[in-house]
Amino acid sequence: MLNYLFKKLKILILVLVSTIMVLFFFYVSLPADFASAQGPIPLEDKIAIRHKLHLDESNAAQFKYWVMGLLKGNLGNSFATGTSINSVIGPCLKNTLKLNIISFLISLIIAIPIGIKSACKKYSFFDTLFNVISLIGISVPAFALAVTSKYFFTYNSTVFDIFARHRNWNFLKYSNTMNHLILPYLITILINLATLIKYTRSSMLDVILQDYVRTARAKGLKENKVIYKHAFKNALLPITTIIGLSIPQIFAGSFFIEIVLGYPGIGPLSYQAVFMRDYPMMMGISIVMCLVIMLANLFTDICYRLIDPRIKFN
């Protein structure tokens, strides 16, 4: 297990380094830079901005400046505000992780029983209903659901005051905080539910037709014990695989939700950085999110061993 983790970490480091190089040279090769994004200002001012930010130097020289700071744990300073990127990304990343982790756990608690029941009652009204709901949830893009929800629950109602940007989690501001958070969390939960219900049902359908499930029923075991102890335990591996593959999609969907609903996460910060051509901020966000996704996939691999002790890492 330790040898596997060591090898996996070496691969992740190699992937991270390759990602950093590709992203940096992609960003600096874009046709417009930070000076161009400042609008119709005098050419002398643009030249001064490029010189101050080393944008008039070669790509290799810019990469050298940035890597020297990165080796010290410093992602640099924002072109737009001049503030440290580390201090800006931290709170936003915390909010994004809260949104995704809490929403995903709630979705998992709700989706697994529904998916199991749908598989056990195949082609029933219950199964058909949630199958249709899952297909709609998978088909509708996250940004479309966010825009629609924003229109109906914000412009036509004062219940969801999503523009009240309260980052203080003090109990005295609990009601205002809930008004700000409930809509992003609700939409994220619904999107995750659709995927999890669909794949839990499919995984359970593959398992409940196996011979060992029929044998368990023939022994006279209770149906709940057959389903949850024998069938669901073996259906967990495919579900875990789907969860691992869905992690990047989950974060991408939450970015659009955050941007549309004004949630103080990585999404609005990324949008602002792209709009302003703030390359250090774009690089910092890309690296942090790449690292989060890689660690989440590593955790998924470890879960294989926890779910099924027979799995050996070689």
Kindly report the CATH number assigned to the domain that includes residue 210: 1.10.3720.10
Q: Could you tell me the end-to-end alpha-carbon distance of the chain, in angstroms, rounded to an integer?
A: 8
- pLDDT tens-digit readout, 18-60: 888 888 888 777 777 777 767 677 777 778 877 777 777 777 8
Task: For residue 166, name the pLDDT band (cuts at 50, 70, 90).
Answer: very low
| Domain residue limits at 148 | 93-307
Task: For residue 172, name the pLDDT band (cuts at 50, 70, 90).
Answer: very low
Q: What is the pLDDT of residue 174?
A: 46
Residue of 118, 126, 180 whose CA lies nearest to 150: 180
- pLDDT tens-digit readout, 76-101: 788 878 788 888 888 888 888 888 88
Same domain, 65 and 144: no
301 is a domain residue: yes
Burial level of 71, CB count in 10 A (0-12/13-18/19+)? exposed
Same domain, 57 and 111: no
77 is a domain residue: no
Is it the case that residue 179 has pLDDT exceeding 60?
A: no
CB 177 within 8 A of CB 185: no
Q: What is the pLDDT of residue 175?
A: 45
Is it the case that residue 225 has pLDDT exceeding 70?
A: yes
Is it the case that residue 164 has pLDDT exceeding 60?
A: no
pTM score above 0.75: yes
Mean pLDDT of 145-153: 78
87 is a domain residue: no
Same domain, 168 and 287: yes
Total domains in the chain come to 2
Is it the case that residue 226 has pLDDT exceeding 50?
A: yes
Task: For residue 313, name the pLDDT band (cuts at 50, 70, 90).
Answer: low
| Boundary (domain end) residue, out of 71, 103, 130 | 71
- pLDDT tens-digit readout, 228-277: 877 887 888 878 877 777 788 788 888 888 888 888 888 888 888 888 88
Same domain, 199 and 278: yes
Is it the case that residue 279 has pLDDT exceeding 80?
A: yes
153 is a domain residue: yes
Mean pLDDT of 277-286: 85
Mean pLDDT of 162-178: 46
298 is a domain residue: yes
Q: What is the pLDDT of residue 239?
A: 81
Q: What is the pLDDT of residue 52?
A: 79
Task: For residue 167, name the pLDDT band (cuts at 50, 70, 90).
Answer: very low
- Mean pLDDT, the chain, whole residue set: 80
Lowest mean pLDDT among 4-13, 50-59, 162-171: 162-171
What lies within 8 Å, CB to CB, of 205 at 6+ separation is: 119, 122
Tokens standing for 289? 């999110």
CB 262 within 8 A of CB 268: yes
Is it the case that residue 308 has pLDDT exceeding 60?
A: yes
- Percent of the chain's residues with pLDDT above 90: 2
Q: Cβ–Cβ contacts within 10 Å for residue 5, how many?
A: 13
Same domain, 136 and 197: yes
Mean pLDDT of 265-291: 86
